[in-house]
Structure 1
Amino acid sequence: MFDQTRVSKQVWLTGQLMCWIVVLLAMNGICQAADHPNIIIVYADDLGFGDLSCYNSEAPYKTPRLDQMAAEGIRFTDAHSPSTICSPSRYGLFSGQQIFRSTGRGGGAFEGPGGPSYLKPGTLTVAQMLQQEGYRTGVFGKWHVGLSWFDKDGKRLGGGFENSLLIDYEKSTPLIDGPNTRGFDESFVTPNCPNTDPLYVYIENGMVATPASQRHDPKSLPNPGGKWRWDNDAGWMSPGYDFMNADLLFFEKTKAFITEHRQATPDKPFFAVLSTQIAHAPVLPAEEFNGATEAGPRADFIWELDVLVGRVLDLVKELGIDEQTLVLFNSDNGAETLHVNWMRHDHQHDPSDGWRGMKRDAWEGGHRVPFIARWPGHIPSRQVSAQMTNTTDIFATLASVVGVSLPDSAATDSFDMLPVMMGQQNESQSIRPHLLTQSFRGEFQIRQGSWKYLDHQGSGGNNYDVKNMQEWAIPEKAPDAAGQLYNLDDDPGETNNLYFTKEAKRKELQALLAKLKASGRSAPKNRTPFRTLVPSAR
């Protein structure tokens, strides 16, 4: 006989059980969100290894807030950018991969309406990974990984000066491959270098409020020191575009994103990237920073960067989230050639800090960069690590922070550096068995321990025969060699090419490079998040 009372009771119990499951899942989500730290990346531009006083005690100026950040966390002394120029390094930051994974070889720096994006559809970005973990994400400042712009006929435009005036903004926006289609909930960016390239516009959430319609005259800007305005193109700009206060604007946008997020959804973590133009040419410190140091306009510019980092650190303290916020600081490549030249001559300051080379070069000065991480209560203070690492490693490290096991198809050149940051890795045991970098022309370099092989002749970037570079040229001891082999322990200046004398090591590294290029990855498969294995160092 059908028992309606019994069935109703079973339905009621099932409903109650389902409610409790929903509640428990929701509570678990809150716990996960609470366990996930907020994450901020400050990504500097053309900042050399020796440009911070915590790296270079001989610098003719100080960077007290970055020095503080390093003292309160970890400073890496063997950190590298994926490339020796802007756009490919930014691809490495966002994708966890070397640029040849996207292009097949190298990758230039975009100018004007250049594109499409190096971040192709289907490439998992670090922002998308964090979005999937419940983060609200934002990027503010220099984008520079390529964008798709179209003319009135719907034809995709290439880069350059003339094409900047051909953009049809109605057909081009919202951008099909801008930050908001690559994992960022909010964005306020410039397409390329904010103060250098021939397309000067602000892009907010994929839209351009004020198209570029005016010709920019570089002579309208201050010219500190008589030369530091160099590389400010006479391009096309939006009316009201602010060259002098670009980084202050980017910081204010970052601050607003963080503050408003904390007010609206304090239980949800955020991920913010502050991508500065400092210290890229032209050197245009905001007015309040002019004369802040006694080492000229570029030092004033770096002082401005230091102040902005300090404001980021102060903001998280004011919001009461200091111990819940991981802050990373990194640079996209070494210092610009003329900047290195002028700083060495005018102020006895070496942005490369003794390493051979500078921006565009495959030698250490082109890609050895500052890397600092701070997370109170998790990253022990006053650590200095000689672990070999790459900007691409930020992806796997953040995945580890939030307990994500990355698919083998994603971030294929990214290694988890969290055990190093948390002080739980033996310094004598390298996380990375090898390290790939690429120079200006896309040529490859590979490190294995102290051994470095350059799969090309010369610098890989700059021409040391031109007048302003000749004095920094070093005679080649093996001019007939097709490549270069150095032992950085014995020869940190990369002056003694062992290509012929250490043939076995050279062939070993050549074979390893060929294998890593052909395999589609340099990172291990089946990566397990370190943070799920080891508790935090509180």
Structure 2
Amino acid sequence: MQRFQQRMFSGRIVAALVCLVAAPLARAEDNALPNIVIIYADDVGFGDVGCYGATHVETPNIDQLALQGRKFTDAHAASAVCTPSRYALVTGQYPARRDFWAPVFVRSPLIVDTEQTTIADIAKRAGYTTTCIGKWHLGWGSKQPTDWNAPLVPGPQQLGFDTYFGVPVLNSHPPFVYVENDRPVGWTADDPFVYGQRASTRRFDEKFGLSQIGGAKRAHEQYDDEAVGTVLTKRATDWIEQQAKTDSPFFLYLATTNIHHPFTPAKRFQGTSKAGPYGDFIHELDWMVGEVIAALDKAQVADNTLVIFSSDNGGMLNRGGQEAYRQGHRMNGELLGFKFDAWEGGHRVPMIVRWPGQVSPGSVSDSLVSSIDFAATVAAIGEQKLEEDEAPDSVNLLPALLGKPGTVVREELLVSPAKPGNLALRRGDWMFISGQAGGGFSSKNEGDHGFGGPAAMPFTGQVNSDIEGGEIRPDAPAQQLYNLKDDPRQAKNVIEQHPDVAEDLRQRMAQILGR
């Protein structure tokens, strides 16, 4: 019933806005629908961008995007983990409904059901030409382990994307190659992939699994870690230039590998920040954003293009992140926790929307929004009716984009950390977490890749009432409740003071999951 009411609410909002937006939406006679560009950055935290308070890195292009559009201060990924977060964006469904918590790797088949409606399917129904460029990280094929010597089907093209080019898994794990549509670039039958063989690829700190799959030497030779950002940018800008010459509106999902470890910016960005290689990688990301915007300007389609910039989860306290932290950079600002955590630092992320003539420039909104909502928003823009099983957890963001800053579009959001026992539910100002600590990485040793959780608090200087001396207090409550309006840093767990609120959210969480 709530789902039905949510759809009806969104429909009424869109109807009420018809008079407001109809004329601007039809401003281009040969292309009534706006082009849509989603730039989904990797591991960019709430404090990684200048317009969100970063002082050790410079992001003039992203900052300019905020000046030209709307900056959201309460935007979240539906998961604090890369793969589930992308699943939510692509399908508009909470990953917890499918029990998705962890990243997938080289052996994983496609985790999205090809019968499931995706954001690309919705765009195509509305008449868009669609592409995905960049990090996929949702699995390939139907077998386990994935056969990298056969056509990688099903994949993006079976989920509504007309074309795909990019990094098939992620830049920290194999295979270290590019895939175009359903084949690794440079692959030939006489030079196959071989599981268990060391790959012919460069070594970097926090680049893993080099011996998980090798062979395919020519395919691996196409991939240079320090050139990935440049290659993906060139693909995206070339595609924009080509599509701008056609009569079809275009939908570009650009998923960058920046700023996921290993931190491998091109030479021209190395040493340019005050946050080590971590910050240098942010500088390259900002350049990438600038190049995409410049391509839209050059193609004379910027005025009819909706651009969304956001991130798949919060910043990570890996080795590169620890070095940046020592230098004074705070990747998640003053928020508690890091990537993988149910705490705010794990999933509250930058989100900037530019849409000339539609979104008020220089505006700031504290509306609760999420990248899981992009699917329903594309449907609303394309005037596509969604059935009950299509993007079931996605909410139309148009009222929050076109209306006054702070317009309420969703009252609650279910957020998945790495550990199922720490599932979180946000409602209004309240955040309920179903377990102790953040539910993310918890290695106890500074310098470890997985350093995090309570053990990292002496290093970060963060404070939480359940944690003392880098350990969970023996008398700490089994679950957590925070009022984010009063306590945005989540310094004090108030579950014992508000047991009725916690119980209400606990029951609502079970209801969402059908338990």
Q: TM-score, normalised by structure 1?
A: 0.81
In structure 1, what is the Cα distance between the partners aligned to 2:295 and 2:235? 13
Give a deviation string over 1:412-471, Cα, whole Å, max 9, x none.
11111111111x2462x5211111110012342111111110011221112164445424
Tell me if the contact between 1:201 and 1:212 (Cα under 8 Å) persists in the aligned partners: no
For 1:246, what is the secondary structure of its paired residue? helix
Aligned to 1:244: 226
> Which structure has the larger Rg?
1
Q: More displaced, 238-247 or 430-439? A: 238-247
Amino acid at match of 1:91: Y
For 1:129, what is the secondary structure of its paired residue? helix
Distance 1:485 1:168, change over 3 A: closer
1:95-106 matched pairs, under 5 angstroms: 95-101=91-97, 103=98, 105-106=99-100
Give a deviation string over 1:120-155, Cα, whole Å, max 9, x none.
122100001111111110111100011126xxxxxx
Does residue 312 of the first structure (1) align with residue 292 of the second (2)?
Answer: yes
- Identity fraction in percent: 33
Does residue 459 of the first structure (1) align with residue 438 of the second (2)?
Answer: yes
Aligned to 1:414: 394
Does residue 259 of the first structure (1) align with residue 247 of the second (2)?
Answer: no
Tell me if the contact between 1:232 and 1:281 (Cα under 8 Å) persists in the aligned partners: no
Aligned to 2:115: 122
For 1:239, what is the secondary structure of its paired residue? helix
1:248-287 matched pairs, under 5 angstroms: 248-263=230-245, 265=246, 267-287=247-267
Instruction: Tell me the CA shift for residue 232 of structure 1.
Output: 4.1
For 2:73, what is the secondary structure of its paired residue? strand
Amino acid at match of 1:250: L
Does residue 386 of the first structure (1) align with residue 399 of the second (2)?
Answer: no
Q: More displaced, 401-410 or 280-289? A: 401-410
For 1:436, what is the secondary structure of its paired residue? strand
User: 425, 429, 435: which one pairs with 1:446?
Assistant: 425
In structure 2, what is the Cα distance between the partners aligned to 1:202 and 1:326? 28
In structure 2, what is the Cα distance between the partners aligned to 1:330 and 1:452? 22
Aligned to 1:83: 79
Instruction: Tell me the CA shift for residue 484 of structure 1.
Output: 0.7
Give a deviation string over 1:274-312, Cα, whole Å, max 9, x none.
111111000000122122334322111101110110111
User: 321, 326, 329: which one pairs with 1:340?
Assistant: 321
For 2:377, what is the secondary structure of its paired residue? helix
Give a deviation string over 1:42-64, Cα, whole Å, max 9, x none.
110011100000001x5212100
Q: More displaced, 475-484 or 246-255? A: 475-484
Tell me if the contact between 1:113 and 1:199 (Cα under 8 Å) persists in the aligned partners: no
Distance 1:447 1:168, change over 3 A: closer
User: 24, 28, 32: which one pairs with 1:35?
Assistant: 32
Aligned to 1:16: none
In structure 1, what is the Cα distance between the partners aligned to 2:377 and 2:113? 22
1:54-203 matched pairs, under 5 angstroms: 54-56=51-53, 58-101=54-97, 103=98, 105-115=99-109, 117-148=110-141, 156-158=143-145, 167=147, 169=149, 172-173=150-151, 175-193=152-170, 195-203=171-179
In structure 2, what is the Cα distance between the partners aligned to 1:147 and 1:98? 21
Across the aligned residues of Structure 1 and Structure 2, the Cα RMSD in angstroms comes to: 2.2
Give a deviation string over 1:507-528, Cα, whole Å, max 9, x none.
1111211222229xxxxxxxxx
In structure 2, what is the Cα distance between the partners aligned to 1:388 and 1:464? 31
Tell me if the contact between 2:78 and 2:413 (Cα under 8 Å) persists in the aligned partners: no
Instruction: Tell me the CA shift for residue 31 of structure 1.
Output: 8.3
Instruction: Tell me the CA shift for residue 33 of structure 1.
Output: 6.7
Instruction: Tell me the CA shift for residue 495 of structure 1.
Output: 2.3
Instruction: Tell me the CA shift for residue 118 of structure 1.
Output: 2.1
Gaps of 5+ in 1: 1-28, 150-155, 160-166, 224-228, 520-538
Tell me if the contact between 1:139 and 1:187 (Cα under 8 Å) persists in the aligned partners: yes
For 2:86, what is the secondary structure of its paired residue? helix
Gaps of 5+ in 2: 1-25, 459-463, 468-472
For 1:485, what is the secondary structure of its paired residue? strand
User: 43, 46, 49: which one pairs with 1:46?
Assistant: 43
For 2:492, what is the secondary structure of its paired residue? coil
Aligned to 1:205: 181
In structure 1, what is the Cα distance between the partners aligned to 2:321 and 2:332? 8
Q: TM-score, normalised by structure 2?
A: 0.84
In structure 2, what is the Cα distance between the partners aligned to 1:517 and 1:190? 32
Aligned to 2:466: 476
Tell me if the contact between 1:60 and 1:294 (Cα under 8 Å) persists in the aligned partners: yes
Instruction: Tell me the CA shift for residue 230 of structure 1.
Output: 2.2
Amino acid at match of 1:158: P
In structure 1, what is the Cα distance between the partners aligned to 2:44 and 2:28? 38
Amino acid at match of 2:400: V
Amino acid at match of 1:93: L
For 1:46, what is the secondary structure of its paired residue? coil
In structure 1, what is the Cα distance between the partners aligned to 2:371 and 2:404? 19
